[in-house]
Amino acid sequence: MVMLAPKDVGRRLRLSVSRIVQLDREGILLARRDSSGRRFYDADVVEVFAQMREAQARQRGDDVRPEEMA
């Protein structure tokens, strides 16, 4: 299982780190914590979440460019 730091999740989802943490607090994108309390996210879960966001954006007609989403 590959784990990502909030900074890396933010890059993938094009969201700020504070928004990533907020999604964790809201129970939408759950993080695991290490012994120091730092958040880490399962890369597979993040990828599914990213694909769902991209599909929703396409349905709304938002400009989604794959090169920006990687």
Instruction: Give the CATH number for residue 51.
Output: 1.10.1660.10
d(CA 8, CA 52): 18
Q: What pLDDT shows up at residue 67?
A: 47
Per-residue pLDDT averaged across 59-65, rounded? 71
| pLDDT for residue 20 is more than 50 | yes
Per-residue pLDDT averaged across 19-27, rounded? 97
Per the structure, the complete domain to which residue 33 belongs is given by: 3-60
For residue 56, is it within any domain?
yes
User: What value does the mean pLDDT of the chain take?
Assistant: 90
Q: What pLDDT shows up at residue 61?
A: 81
In the three-class reduction of DSSP (H, G, I as helix; E, B as strand; rest coil), residue 33 is classed as strand
Number of domains in the chain: 1
d(CA 6, CA 66): 21
For residue 66, is it within any domain?
no
Residue 39 phi, psi dihedral angles, 5° rounding: -85, 140
